[in-house]
Structure formats: structure tokens, C-alpha cells
């Protein structure tokens, strides 16, 4: 069975028992919202545009959340961490290419900082205590990882991870990795804007729509109603 089919069947089965929003997140979803503290370390920038890459499980939800964040001008689902020759979904799904399903976020740092995006990531996007897994998906391709694109981002990411570990918001240890920046390869077209285009899919309804509800509830100042889409 393909991973896409597994995701859809998992979501449909989950809907059989329903879900309830608790604190903005699904009580039955593996990814539960946490109101993470504001980062103590941030870097101001007057640049009109910057990019950041985040991996946190299935890229459908990661992309969908960031597309609703003010200041984000683009979010593309794809792969990073492996070679160009095997950067396609069917191959990455084997879990042995080194790639992680990831999202390249383009943003205006004058509107939303990289530190703000990290806060959204740890609060809403991913459970940082799950090793090589997120929700119903498992394998190194679903690992929780940050890929800083410059020294400033790396410094902010390291500082925020240290801050979160000291805060002890989760019962289990944080296993999110900071990995060196590597080439990013966009995923196939049918993966782009998946959350927006398929809101009634079982997997999306159970695993990802609660993340949007959490973003809107926890960070209304960052919420944008109309997502910025790859397809425009």
C-alpha cells in the first residue's frame, strides 16, 4: 500500500471515533498544540525576503499551517537531506534516502521573524518528542528537523531548542534535530496545497485541520484567513 493510501485510510478510520478540539488541537491527534513561550533570541532583519526549511512529518500539514501565517509569501512541499536522483515521493517513502518530507517557507522577516516561525512550528506543526515519526506516519522521512539556511537562523534555532528544553513543556525529551542546510527539491504537483485542496480527506480532517484551529486560537496576530498557495 502506498503511503498516500495509508494516510487516507488512517484518517477515515480515525473519523469513525470522531475528534474534539481541546485547547485548539485534536484530543486524538498525535500532534497536540502547546503554547510555546516567545523565543528569547531573535534576529531583526530589513531584508525583503528570507527562506527557511522545516521538516515535521507529512508535508501536507506543515505546508498548510505555514500558508496561513502572516508574512509568509510562499510555502512549497518537498524533500531535503538526500540526493537529487531519489528526491521523488515513491522513492523517499522507502525511508532510506536520507530525505525528510519538508517545506521551504519564504517569508518577509519585517513582518514575521524566523523566531516566530519556530514558535509556530513547535506549538502547532510538530510534536518534537516523536523520534522519526509524526502521528500515524513513521520513518526517518517523517523526522522532526530544522534546516537553518544561514548562521543567524542556526543561532536562533539552537537558542530556542535550549529554551524549550529548560521550559519542560513536554513529558518526553525533545528530539528535534538541527541539520545542515542541503538542497531542497520540490515535491510532485499533486502534493502542493494538499490541505487546501482536500479539506474533507480523512487524513487532513483528523491530523491537520486541528493544527489550523490551534494556530488561529493561539496566535491570532499571526493568522491569515486566506492561505498563500503554490498554485496562486
Phi and psi at residue 118, in whole multiples of 5°? -65, -40
Q: In degrees to the nearest 10, what's the CA dihedral of 80, 82, 87, 92?
A: -90
* Cβ contact 182:58 at 8 Å: no
- Cβ 85 vs Cβ 125: under 8 Å: no
User: Around Cβ 147, how many Cβ atoms within 10 Å?
Assistant: 24
Q: Which of 14, 55, 58, 112 is catalytic?
A: 58
Q: Is 21 helix (H, G, I), strand (E, B) or coil?
A: strand
Rounded-to-integer distance, Cα 160 and Cα 166, Å: 10
Cell numbers found for residue 14: 480515525
Assess whether 58 carries a catalytic annotation. Answer: yes
Cα distances (angstroms) measured from residue 44 to each of 153, 156, 191, 223: 11, 11, 33, 21
A 10 A CB-CB count for 185 gives 21
Q: Which three cell numbers stand for residue 98?
A: 536520507
3-state SS of the chain: helix, strand, coil percent to 5?
35, 20, 45
Local structure of 98: helix, strand or coil? coil
Taking alpha carbons only, the member of 18, 40, 36, 35 closest to residue 27 is: 18
Catalytically annotated residues: 58
Amino acid at each position: 500500500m502506498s503511503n498516500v493510501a495509508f494516510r487516507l485510510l488512517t484518517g477515515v478510520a480515525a473519523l469513525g471515533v470522531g475528534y474534539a478540539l481541546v485547547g485548539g488541537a485534536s484530543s486524538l491527534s498525535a500532534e497536540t498544540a502547546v503554547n510555546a513561550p516567545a523565543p528569547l533570541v531573535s534576529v531583526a532583519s530589513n531584508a525583503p525576503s528570507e527562506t527557511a526549511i522545516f521538516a515535521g512529518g507529512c508535508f501536507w500539514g506543515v505546508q498548510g499551517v505555514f500558508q496561513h501565517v502572516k508574512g509568509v509569501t510562499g510555502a512549497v512541499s518537498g524533500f531535503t537531506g538526500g540526493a537529487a536522483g531519489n528526491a521523488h515521493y515513491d522513492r523517499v517513502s522507502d525511508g532510506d534516502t536520507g530525505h525528510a518530507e519538508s517545506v521551504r517557507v519564504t517569508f518577509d522577516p519585517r513582518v514575521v521573524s524566523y523566531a516566530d516561525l519556530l514558535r509556530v512550528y513547535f506549538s502547532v506543526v510538530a510534536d518534537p518528542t516523536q523520534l522519526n515519526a509524526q502521528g500515524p506516519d513513521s520513518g526517518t522521512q517523517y523526522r522532526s528537523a530544522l534546516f537553518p539556511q544561514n548562521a543567524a537562523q542556526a543561532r536562533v534555532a539552537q537558542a530556542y531548542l535550549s529554551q524549550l528544553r529548560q521550559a519542560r513543556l513536554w513529558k518526553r525529551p525533545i528530539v528535534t534535530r538541527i541539520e545542515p542546510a542541503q538542497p531542497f527539491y520540490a515535491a510532485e504537483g499533486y502534493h502542493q496545497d494538499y490541505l487546501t485542496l482536500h479539506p474533507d480527506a480523512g487524513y487532513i480532517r483528523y491530523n491537520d485541520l486541528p493544527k489550523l484551529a490551534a494556530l488561529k486560537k493561539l496566535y491570532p496576530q499571526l493568522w491569515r484567513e486566506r492561505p498563500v498557495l503554490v498554485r496562486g
